[in-house]
Chains A and B, each alone.
Chain A
Amino acid sequence: MGIETYLEKTPFLPYLDWIVNWGRKYSIWPVTFGLACCALEMIVTSSATWDISRFGSEVFRPSPRQADLMIVAGTLTKKMAPMVKRIYEQMPEPKWVIAYGACACSGGVFKTYSVVQGVDKILPVDFYVPGCPPRPETLLTALVQLQKKIQNETLADRKNVRMALETEE
């Protein structure tokens, strides 16, 4: 158990929340990971024109163990789904997911036997970014929205997440 167990009943928790969340929200590191054409829009978001590093997220991590955010960019096929789920499970808590593009949101035009009809069928998704493919600005919008969401989180909720994970095993 973490520090939140001891601070939960005290008036210090909101201050700790604020500081921790402030640190978290400006250093969201995504996983280097793209599935289809939407990945190119995600890549170009990190280029000089859109410059994702303005929001502290330029450090695309090749290892899921060092990442906080999974941007599922592209069509998720059923053959690929076990690997994506595995990458997600390798990421340490706290972690967030952005479904980027129509295929990741809902399967898009591919209502077929081989495509997962939205990554929310296998992962908990925080933000959906529609479009085929979406503009890089929409990814930045999702990132800013995610920062707002992170700022409003509390460590007390995270304790519940951790307990759920521990009882699962």
Chain B
Amino acid sequence: MAEINIAVKKVQEKFPASVLEMKTFRDEVNVTVQRKDIFEICKFLYSDPDLQYQMLADLCGVDYFPQAPRFEVVYLLYSFKNNHRLRVKIKVGEGESVLSVESIWKAADWLEREAYDLFGISFANHPDLRRILLWDGYEGHPLRKDFPVEGPDFDKPFIPEV
């Protein structure tokens, strides 16, 4: 338990103003950091010799619709060296963009595209930010809480373009 906190402690030392909240629930460490520092923090977690979070297990978006910073981007990291896991979160408002971590973990490429496709969170410096699951030309972001589950054009006839 105390060992896992090393990561949080080092991040706090390196970025004192950035760590907003730190929470441990059932041995899972959650850290909420500032949006603008996410790239630097990820780079530090990846490259620090004591931490070496070299695997990005998942990257996903969350929508807390009525709240003020509407979205949350969650990074699930894993360190092969220490066998530790870490969950890093940032709050993102509507229309704000996040620095892409694709240059750190290649795995972030498609994961960020998925978050962009379904939530509309834009990632700056991403090499190829376009829709990954829905087709080109689709309007809207379906996993947003204010998106109707049947789609906005449910009553209209569906005509596929062949």
Contact = CB atoms under 8 A, between A and B. Distances in A.
Contacts of A82: 160-162
Interface of A is mostly: loop
Interface in B133-148: 134-135, 140, 142, 147-148
Given A112-B150, A113-B149, A113-B151, A78 B142 contact: no
A114 B149 CA distance: 9
A89 B157 CA distance: 19
B25 interface: no
A89 B154 CA distance: 25
Contacts of B142: 113-114
Closest 3 CB pairs of A and B: A113-B151, A81-B160, A82-B160
A149 interface: no
Interface residues of B, number: 17
B26 to A, nearest CB: 33
Interface of A: 78-79, 81-82, 84-86, 89, 111-114, 116-117, 121-122
A89 B162 CA distance: 10
A85 B162 contact: yes
Nearest to B140: A113
Contact of A121 (B147, B150, B157, B162): B157
Nearest to B161: A82
A122 B160 contact: yes
A129 B161 CA distance: 27
B150 A113 contact: yes
A84 B160 CA distance: 10
B102 to A, nearest CB: 25
A79 B117 CA distance: 14
Given A79-B134, A114-B142, A122 B158 contact: yes
A33 to B, nearest CB: 16
A36 B10 CA distance: 48
Contacts of A78: 135, 158, 160
A79 B134 CA distance: 7
A121 B152 CA distance: 18
B134 to A, nearest CB: 7
Contacts of A121: 157-158
Contact of A113 (B154, B157, B159, B161): B154
B149 A79 contact: no
Nearest to A78: B158
A18 to B, nearest CB: 36
B151 A112 contact: yes
B151 A116 contact: no
Contacts of A81: 158, 160
25 contacts: A78-B135, A78-B158, A79-B134, A79-B135, A81-B160, A82-B160, A82-B161, A84-B160, A89-B162, A112-B149, A112-B151, A113-B140, A113-B147, A113-B148, A113-B149, A113-B150, A113-B154, A114-B134, A116-B158, A117-B158, A121-B157, A121-B158, A122-B158, A122-B159, A122-B160
